[in-house]
Amino acid sequence: MQHKETNQDWWRGAVIYQIYPRSFCDTNADGVGDLPGIIKKLPYIASLGIDAIWISPFLKSPQADYGYDVSDYYAVDSLFGTLEDLEQLITQAHALNIRILMDLVLNHTSIEHAWFQESRQNKTNPKANWYVWADAKPDGSPPNNWLSVFGGSAWAWDEIRQQYYLHNFLAQQPDLNFHHSDVLTAMLNVMRFWLERGIDGFRLDAVNYYVHDAELRDNTLREEGTPGASGVPSNNPYARQYHLFDKTQEENYPVLEKIRHLLNEYPGAIAIGEVGDDHSLLTSARYTAGERYLHTVYTFHLLDVSDHFSATFMRETIQEVERYMHESWPCWALSNHDVPRVATRFAKGKPSLALSKLLMAMLLSLRGTVCLYQGEELGLEEADVPYEKMRDPYGLAFYPEFKGRDGCRTPMPWNDTDGGFSSAEPWLPLSAEHLKHAVSVQENSAHAMLNFTRHFLSWRKNFPALTQGTITLIPCEQNDLLVFKRSFGSENILVALNLSDQAHQLILQDSDYAALPGHGFDSSYENGVAMLPSFSAIYLKTIHA
C-alpha cells in the first residue's frame, strides 16, 4: 500500500490540498464528514491537479478540540470511519498518484488517553513522568506564569495526583513530557505504525511545543506598547508574554532529528512542521537546516496578516523568508482551518473573483511547497457563524472580539441547493453565501475560480522555474506591483503581479523577454512594457539564457 516513490524530493514545489474531514463530505448522514466522503470525492481532488492530501486529525478523540486531542493513536475515530476505510483511501489515492499526509498531534494527548489516566494515579507508576507535572507554590498557585493559547493558566490542578499538569492548549489536552525518553520512543512507534500502512508523511502540529524548560522558569512580560505574540487575538493574555521557556527549547532538536531518522527509512516520506513562535522564521530555518530535521515548515506570515496585506508587505515577507530560509525549502499557505479565509481576510472589505484568482497565482508562484485549504479553489469567503451555532472552544472563550475558527470550518458546498455535504443537519451551518460558489455552479463555467485553479495548476507544471527554482526580487517603482524572477537551470521567468484594484504598467529596462501565454490573465507585453489590469499577473520568459 506504500506509495512507490521514485522521486524523494517530490514535495519540493508540490501542492498539498488540506482536508478538514469534519466538513468535507458526509456519507453516513450524521452531519459530520468522514473518510468514505474523501474517497467519494477523490476524482474531484485529482481533477485539481494537486500532489498530496493533508488530512486534519481523524484518530480516536473525545473531540474537545475536534481531533487535536487524541485518546488512541492507533485507532481511527468511529466518527470518521474505520482503519479499513483509511486503507482504502490510501490505496485509491495512490492509484491516482496522490500522496496522503496525516495530521499528527505529538505535543499533547486527550485527558482521556490511557497514558494520562495511568500517569495521574500517583508519582511512582510506569508513566508517572510521561506528562509535565509540578507541585503548587506554597500559596497553592500554579508553578509559574505560563499561559494557555486558549486562555487562562497553562496549568490545571489534578485532584487525583494532587499536582498541576501543563496544557499549552485546552485543559483537556495535557502536554507530554519529551524530556522522558520513553515518550519519544512511544511516538516514533506511532509514526512507524502509520508509515507501515502507507501514509506518506505527516503534518506535525505545534512542533516547537514538544519540549519545555525543565526548570519551569517564568516567561518574560512584553513591554507596554510592544506588539503582541503573533497568531493569537490581541485580547488574549497569551499575547502579552515573550514565550521563552514554554516552547522552542534547544532540547527539541534531538527529538526532530530522531523523527527525521525514522522518516528516512521510508523513501519519499516527509514531515511538514507547524511553528508558532515569536521568531517563527528563525525557528523554521533552524528546523529545516540541511537534512537533519524537518523537510519543510509552513510560514505563518501570510496566515497572520489581514488588513495590511499589500505588494510592499509581500516584498518584505519574501525578503525576510529568503534571508532566513535561503538554504531551506519554505512552505506557503494563505488559508487553513485556524484562520479566516483569505478571500475575506485580504480583501479590505471588497472580496472579488479577480482578487481570489490573483492570490492563487501569487501563492503558486512563490518559491516553496504550497498548502491549499479546501474551498480555497472555489474562492470561498469567511462564513458568518452566529454565536448560538459556534462550536470552537477558542472562539467561545474570546467572543465577540475574536469569533474563533468556525467561519473557515463550515461544510464544503458541493451543490447550490442543499449543499450536497450531508443529508442530515451539518455540525456547523452551511453558509448560504457559499452555495453561490458551489462546485456544481463552477464546474461548467470556464471563468470560475475552480477552473482557473485547475488550469493554473496544470500550466504551472510546465515550468521547472516556477516549481523548483530560486527567487529574486526585482526592484519596481510601482508600489502596487510585486515583481520577482524564478530561475531553474537555463529557465528564467519574470513574474509581475498587480495587487491593486487599479491598472498599472511595468516598464522593463531589459527587453530580452517574451510573454508566456496560457496563465489565464488578461495582461499583455510588448517592447519592454507590460500592461497589467487590476488584480492581474503576467509571466515573461527570457529569450536568451
List residues with catalytic annotation. Answer: 205, 265
> In the numeric block, which cell numbers belong to residue 261?
531518522
What are all long-range contacts of 419-423, with beta carbons under 8 Å and residues at least 24 apart?
A: 421/23, 421/24, 421/25, 421/26, 421/33, 422/25, 422/26, 422/29, 422/30, 422/31, 422/32, 422/33, 423/26, 423/29
Contact 525, 515 (CB under 8 A): yes
Tell me the CA distances in angstroms from 68 to 22, 57, 108, 206, 488, one per residue in order. 13, 6, 8, 10, 39
Question: Nearest CA to 185 among 243, 132, 255?
Answer: 255
Q: Write phi, then psi, for 538 (nearest 5 degrees).
A: -140, 145
**DSSP character at residue 154:** S
Could you list the beta-strand ranges (E) of 363-512.
369-373, 470-473, 481-488, 491-498, 504-507
Beta carbons within 8 Å of 447's beta carbon, 6+ residues apart: none
Burial of 401 (0-12, 13-18, 19+ CB in 10 A): exposed
